[in-house]
A = this chain, B = another copy of it.
Amino acid sequence: MTTQLRDLQTPCLLLDLDIMARNIARVQTAAQRLGVGLRPHVKTPKAIEIGKELGGGIGPITVSTLSEADVFASAGFNDILYATLLSASKVSRVEALLAGGCRLLSLVDSPVAVAQLAAARRGARPLPVLIEIDVDGHRAGVRLGDAFDALAALLIADSGFTLLGAMSYAGASYDIEPDARAVLAERHRRALVAAGQRIAALGGQPEILSFGSTPALMAAATLEGVTEVRGGIFVFQDLFQAGIGACTLDDIALSVLSTVVGHQPDSKRLWIDAGGMALSKDRSTAGRSFDARYGLVTAADGRRLPLWVADVHQELGLVESIDGTPIDFGSAPIGGQLRILPNHSDMTAAAYDRYHLLRGGQLVGTWARHNGW
C-alpha cells in the first residue's frame, strides 16, 4: 500500500524531488557556463543520496562539520573540503579520515592555528589545507597582503602541511542588491586569482581556488582562474533566498508537514502541531520587506494559502492570515494538514532525522539526514 501524506506523523519534513532536481540542474548549468567545477556544500541536505544527486554520483563536496565528513567518507566520497576553520582539538579526526583514503581539505587562517595543528599532528601524512581569505569582511579569513604571504610561506615550508590553494566565502552576497552581486563576485574572483599567484610566487602549487555562496556564483559574469564553486542552499532554497531574489517561491523544495489541532472561535487564528522545534526559530526574514514571520503556509498539495505562522510555542504554531482578516477555516479544518515553507532550510531541516520524498506529488520513500558534530 502506498503511503499517503495522511499516513505520516506530523510534524515531519517533506522534500519535493522534482523541485530539487530543477534547482540542482540550474546550478550545474551555471557552473558549466562559467567553466568551473562544482563542489556542492552538503551542510544543507546532510544526506548521502542528495550528495550523489548534486554531483551526478560521487564527486567533490564541501562539509561544515567533521560528522558530515565521516558520514560522506563512509559512503565513498573521497574529496571533501571541511569549510570551517580547523582547530587542533579536531586534528585526530582529520587524520583518521586521511588515513582512510579521503582527501580531506582543511581551512586555516593564522600562523597560531598552524603551529597548534602542527603540534597536534600524529600521523606521517601531511595535512592538506587551503587558506581562507577574507575578501568582504563577512566571515573568517586572512586578508591578502603580508599576513597572507607569511601564512602561505609557513605552510609551504612546513612538511607537515600541503598547501593546495585558497578559498573565500562571499557571504556578503546575501546582504546586497542583486545588481551588486556580480561586482562582489568579481572581487572574490580577483582575490582568489591573486591568492593563487602569491602561492605560486612563494613556490607552492595552487591547485584549488574555491569560490563560494550560491547567490554570488549565480551572479558571476566570469570565474576565470577559479577552479571550483561551492553552494549549498540552492538545493532546497527557502523564503530568505526567495526574498533576496535568488529564487522564486516555486523553487522551494523543502516544507514541514503539520496538522491543524485547533481553531480559535474568532476565526482569526488556528493552531498547528509545528512550533519552534519543528520550524526553528530562524527569523532571517525579520525586518525585511519579505518578512514571513515563522514561515508561509500552503495546503497539503503545495497550493499557497494567504496564511503564515505568526508565532510559535515549542510544539504549537500560531497561524494567522497575512492580511489580518479571518481565516477561511474551510481551507484548514481541524485534523487537516498544512505545509510550512521554511525561512532558512538549513535550520529547519536540522530538527529532523529523515526526509519524506515527494515525486509527482506522491510519497516515494525516505532518506536519512545526519545531524550533529
| Chain A residues engaging chain B, CB cutoff 8 angstroms | 6, 9-12, 43, 64-65, 84-90, 93, 109-110, 112-113, 116, 139-140, 147, 171, 259-263, 265, 271, 273, 276-278, 280-284, 313-316, 333-335, 344, 346-347, 350-353, 371-373
| A65→B11 CA distance, assembly (Å) | 10
A262 engages B314 (CB within 8 Å)? no
A313 & B9 in contact (Cβ 8 Å cutoff): no
Residues of B within 8 A of A347 (CB): 276-277, 281
Write the nearest CB–CB distance from A259 to chain B, whole angstroms.
5
A11 engages B373 (CB within 8 Å):
yes
A261: which of B86, B262, B353 is its contact (CB, 8 Å)? B86
What are 5 A-B contacts with C-beta separation under 8 Å?
A: A84-B261, A86-B261, A110-B334, A147-B265, A171-B313
A9 interface neighbour in B10, B273, B373, Cβ under 8 Å: B373
Bound together, the chains give a CA A314 to CA B11 distance in angstroms of 23
Q: Are B314 and A64 in contact (CB under 8 A)?
A: yes
Q: How far is the CA of A162 from the CA of B273 in the complex (A)?
A: 23
Partner of A89, one of B10, B265, B344: B10
A132 closest partner in B (C-beta): B262
Evaluate contact between A84 and B316: CB separation under 8 angstroms.
yes
Contact B85 A271 (CB under 8 A): yes
A350 CA / B371 CA spacing, docked (Å): 11
> Do A89 and B6 form a contact, CB below 8 Å, given A147-B265, A315-B84, A350-B277?
yes
